Amino acid sequence: MEERVFALIRAHRSTIVFTNSRRSAERLCARLNELAADEVAGAGPSPEATARCAPGGRRPR
């Protein structure tokens, strides 16, 4: 699943991914960052190949 989400992210300029919990968001974020690092390692560093992923906090009510 992570590879498919990563491919969809790479195909668009910006992407928001929703998860059911903060834990799953953090796990997905870590895996997406690993996939991005693998891609950069194979192609050399470039700004276009760098993915940034950080889970957000709770929204104020």
For residues 44 and 30, give the distance between their C-alpha atoms in angstroms, rounded to a whole number.
20
Does any domain span residue 16? yes
The whole domain housing 36 covers: 2-49
In a domain, 54, yes or no: no
* Under 8 Å between Cβ of 53 and 29: yes
15 lies in some domain: yes
Give the whole-angstrom CA distance, residue 51 versus residue 6. 9
Residue 56 lies in a domain: no
The per-residue pLDDT for 48 is 52
Output the pLDDT for position 23. Answer: 93
**Predicted structure pTM score:** 0.63
Alpha helical stretches, state H, the chain: 2-10, 22-43
In a domain, residue 57? The reply is no
Q: Average pLDDT for consecutive 10-residue bins of the chain (61 residues)?
A: 88 88 91 88 57 60 53
Q: Please state the domain count of the chain.
A: 1
